[in-house]
Structure 1
Amino acid sequence: MNGNVTVGQVMRRDFVGANEGDGLRETAALMLEENVDTVVVLRGAEPIGMVTQRDVLETAVERADLDGVTVADVMRSNPPTVAPGESLTTATDQMSGTDSRHLLVTEDEELAGVITEHDVVTASTLDPGVDREHVEADERATIEAATATAEGTGTGEEYSNQGICELCGTLSHDLSSFNGQLVCTDCKNV
């Protein structure tokens, strides 16, 4: 996991909130409507808990009737929190340590957003310090140099003609450049 990416860079600043007195059925409908898997329970502006899809499902299985069930009845009090300046590794450790798939992101005791397990997994390959265009230009230059050498027009450095065909994805012992791609004999002849 990339330690250079912070929670603040990947957290969701928009979140769905509910009051502890709200009905669970209405809150579940709101979760579906907003397409979220967690709701932050607020008392004024203070986050006091959270309700997840799993909490709603467990309650629905345990109770035949959800009438009269409030958010306060099922919410997780004192939800786990993380600061926006912390690394994704820290967030992952915190999720593992608290057995939670969601963390409230707080700064100076104020709610700044929410980060989910999905957010961490999605963002784990990000590196804000890498200029992607520069990396892609370097990769193209390396491929072009290998192609030129394989065709006998390069600097004299020796490269193997073995590799993965860029069209069909098979391992080939005889790649050649065709239309700007390294391709196997079968794909070149198509």
Structure 2
Amino acid sequence: MRVSTPTWIKMASVALVLPLAAACGGNDQDQLESPPDAVLPQSATFGQPQSIPVGDGSMSLTVEPLRLETNSSSSDNEQVLIADVGATAEFGNPYIDPAQFHAYAPDGGELKRMDTPESFLANPLVRSDLGDPGEVTEGSVGFVVPAGLRVGRLDVVTPEATLSYTIVKQPVDPSATPTDSPD
């Protein structure tokens, strides 16, 4: 025996399905396509080398896990987020520059890069042109972290690419952690 569905149920179903189909319909290519010149971030992992194009070449970049230190020479005893980086030329003439590094709070606010890193960092990163494959440069980039602010991510931005490092565990100040462990 066949049971007939009431007409009002059919009409209500169509009324619900049509707006959903219209919202999901259309050309999928149009919805997923980025502008041809868009630079989309790619995820990176601390301590792992990552190839990144820059200039007319490419370099292998390693960013060590971030750390915090207290700048006792400042009037506010500010915290400084430190990114220790190393770059190795892969091909062409890539370059590395502290201005390529940007640190952000979880809410998206950008942290200020240190104005005079040489006054605090032992080996501040300076702009370096890497002319020969295998040429290496290392250094540190510092960012001022206001009291109580957490760090959300670190980006390395070139005109050709963006590497984004998500901070899942907050960096710690090594001087604030005890070095003696109970036996």
TM range, smaller chain: under 0.3
Structure of higher RCO (CA pairs closer than 8 Å, 6+ residues apart): 2
Q: TM-score normalized by structure 2?
A: 0.20
More strand by share: 2
Structure whose residues are more often helix by fraction? 1
